[in-house]
Amino acid sequence: MKTKTTIKDVAELAGVSFKTVSRVTNNEGSVRKETLKKVNDAIRQLNYQPNNAARNLAGNKSFSLGYVYDNPNAYYVLDMQNGILAECRERGYELVIHPCSATNKDIVDELATMVKRSQLAGLIISPPLSEMTDVLSALDDMNIPFIRIISASEVSQGSSPCVCINDRDAAFDITEHLIEQGHRKIAFLRGDECHQSSHERKLGYQQALKKHNLPIIEDYQIDGSYSFEFGVQGAKQLLSLDNPPTGIFSCNDEIAAGALFAVRLKGLNVPSDMAIAGFEDSPFSRQTWPQLTTAAQPTNVIARKAAASLIQHLAHLRSPKTNADSITHLHYRPQLVTRESTLGVTED
């Protein structure tokens, strides 16, 4: 029977001491780059898995992270989970996944209890929880390390690391693309009020219209939720107007898929009668016909980077002499992806 790989095996293969391997697996940050590479190569080659329970007991340190979310988009949540989990496995961390309700009046107590019960080192928080100042302040007060994933074109330096998604500029790009296709009557279907991304994407849409001296028409802006059903309802409402738009920018791909369904039900063609764009580049954007123009948001990559940044932050807290900066702010701008749903004949 093959015996389990030990820290001794890793040390021998890498040609270093047990203590050096321990520093690497504990993410202490005090190891030279060349040595770090040798140890990580040996860990991967031997498929070494540190004993997290033993590490927790021996050093009174936790090697588990928590992912906390309240998001109706199943594709987004799955990509976040997979990205965080991949980084945790590579770094020798466990992952606890905790869905919850952002509207729960006891949400702070719920998170505090979860952190204590699961002995978590820190939390990764996605919207809308990551954008709720009362939740973040309470976590700060309880000295619970966390990283937040937020929708923001810029962010001031703060006490916790964050990953900023520049939804506003990406929404500007989509709207400008529709304008460049010849559209002058462009509607916007907005997602949930509690998500900052809904506001940021609407601002980007409005800024593009202003840049091209196009009117911002109230009837063309409909508030709703990040759902297929709202896309259907919103598109029907737009089509019922005396002067309907010729293009619809939906706050995400699920809304856009619903809008496309409603437009096709009316016997209209996409994009010749109505151009439709979404956001996020989720599977919804590729499962429709025609496929949807959208903004590619690399959720899996964002998740991995968020986990890596939090682990780096934790290493700094455990060992202040670590060379890495304690607070890291990462920035991503979703990229325009043009597809058949907007590439075609426009209004006269």
Beta bridge partners of 277: 249, 293
Which DSSP string corresponds to 127-141? TTGGG-HHHHHHHHH
Average pLDDT over residues 77-93: 93
pLDDT beyond 50 at 86: yes
Q: What is the pLDDT of residue 308?
A: 93
pLDDT at 279 over 50: yes
* Residue 55 predicted with pLDDT over 90: no
Alpha-carbon distance of 298 to 313, in angstroms, equals 22
The 10s digit of each residue's pLDDT in 63-78 is 899 999 998 788 899 9
pLDDT of amino acid 56: 46
- In angstroms, the first-to-last Cα distance of the chain is 75
Indicate whether 158 pLDDT > 70: no
Judged by average pLDDT, the poorest of 16-30, 82-96, 150-164, 334-348 is 16-30
Q: Which residue has the higher pLDDT, 46 or 336?
A: 336
Comparing 9-13, 272-276, 325-329, which segment has the lowest mean pLDDT? 325-329
Q: Residue 157: which pLDDT band, with cuts at 50, 70 and 90?
A: low
**For 291, which DSSP code?**
P
d(CA 169, CA 150): 14
Residue 19 to residue 12: CA distance in whole angstroms: 12
Q: What is the pTM of this model?
A: 0.79
Given a cut of 90, whether residue 178 has pLDDT beyond it is yes
Query: Which range among 7-21, 97-111, 230-244, 298-312 shows the weakest confidence by mean pLDDT?
Result: 7-21
Of the candidates 240, 132, 259, which has an alpha carbon nearest to the alpha carbon of residue 189?
259
> 53 pLDDT exceeds 50?
no
> Domains (ranges, CATH) in the chain?
7-50 (1.10.260.40), 62-166+298-333 (3.40.50.2300), 167-297 (3.40.50.2300)
DSSP one-letter code for 250: E
Residue 300 buriedness (CB in 10 A; 0-12 / 13-18 / 19+): middle
pLDDT category at 205 given cuts 50, 70, 90 is very high
Helix (H/G/I), strand (E/B), else coil: 70: coil
